[in-house]
Amino acid sequence: MKKNINVFFASDEAYLPFLSVAIRSLDDHASDKYIYNIIILTEQKDSLEEAISKIKVKENVRLLVSDVKERIKGVKSALSLRLRDYYSESIYYRLFIPSMFPKLDRAVYLDSDIALNDDIAKLYFTDIGDSIVGAVSDESVLNEPVFCDYVKKHVGLLRADSYFNSGVLLMDLSGMRRERIEEKFVHLISKYNFETIAPDQDYLNFLCKGKVYYFGAGWNKHAIAGTAIPSSGVQLMHYNMFGKPWHYEGVMMEELFWKYAKETPFYASLKEGLLSYTDEDRARDLEGARMLLSSAAKITEREKCIADVIADGYFKAVGIV
């Protein structure tokens, strides 16, 4: 019997073109030795089911859509309170996977703005020991002293390179349930809703501190940050922030993205998006980056950061252990 590999995405209609590219890249590298269950978490189940039915995949790759509306109904207003820029509540969906899929022990979560250059099974079956998540250090943070200060003071990490990017996660769902990560998150966002730079990512880093297995950068290579890696050493490209080939030319490994974009129904619209992205749009991106740095500095200067308020013993005191 073939082993199952469970891969989650979170998406809405706006991000469907990029999700389609990610799915095509995963499918192209999928081995016939496994069954790949691709589960898309969304609040737009009907429209996404119809759209993804048009994406061509192998017989052993299954596309499923799961509605999160009921699960997040009680905290939706809290989830939306601190969102910025292009973020939506979907960035938080990954935190609800353990309770939504109680029969699963392991899962991979992937952001939609990625393209795979290798078989995701290699990541999925990695032994992460006693850790509850496997991830990659966030290269964007390590390149900015302001962000390094932010993750150490606000998130409470001893080292900036311990701060991981939540766009690629190997999740020990049993371990996350045992550690009650979801309950702790819901408590924090409902009671405090701290100001953050990367909302879901900051909470995950705080809650999983000391229980993280770190993969090499090739499994979450950012298109605009970090040291150069030969394409042969990149298993997964993450086109985050300004490294989006549908907005910018000359992006690292952009050819990987366009290779799979051609195999989706959205190729023409993605190309049109690149051609229509103006200098004003790019200037707005740069201003957004400056504002992000400024926000990180302001949050770090404040007295009440996450690590200050949620000290050792806090969760035991509120009955979440």
Please spell the DSSP secondary structure of 282-296, one letter per residue: HHHHHHHHHHHHHHH
Locate 250 and state its tokens: 């000359």
Q: Which of 11-25, 79-93, 101-115 has the lowest mean pLDDT?
A: 79-93
Locate 215 and state its tokens: 């993969």
18-34 pLDDT, tens digit per residue, is: 999 999 999 999 999 99
**DSSP letter (8 states) at residue 259:** H
Catalogue all structural domains in the chain, each as residue range(s) with its CATH number.
Answer: 3-317 (3.90.550.10)
Q: Of 189, 198, 175, which is closest to residue 309 (Cα–Cα)?
A: 189
158-202 pLDDT, tens digit per residue, is: 999 999 999 999 999 999 999 999 999 999 999 998 988 888 999
User: Is residue 82 scored above 80 in pLDDT?
Assistant: no
Backbone CA torsion sign across 52, 262, 9, 63: positive
Locate 240 and state its tokens: 């985050």
Gap between the Cα atoms of 76 and 72, Å rounded = 6
Average of per-residue pLDDT across 115-122: 98
Taken as a whole, the chain contains a residue count of 321
Average of per-residue pLDDT across 87-91: 78
Amino acid 245: pLDDT: 94
Amino acid 39: pLDDT: 98
Average of per-residue pLDDT across 85-90: 69
* 193 touches 202 (CB < 8 A): no
Listed in sequence order, the residues at least 6 apart from 233 whose beta carbon sits closer than 8 Å to its beta carbon are 218
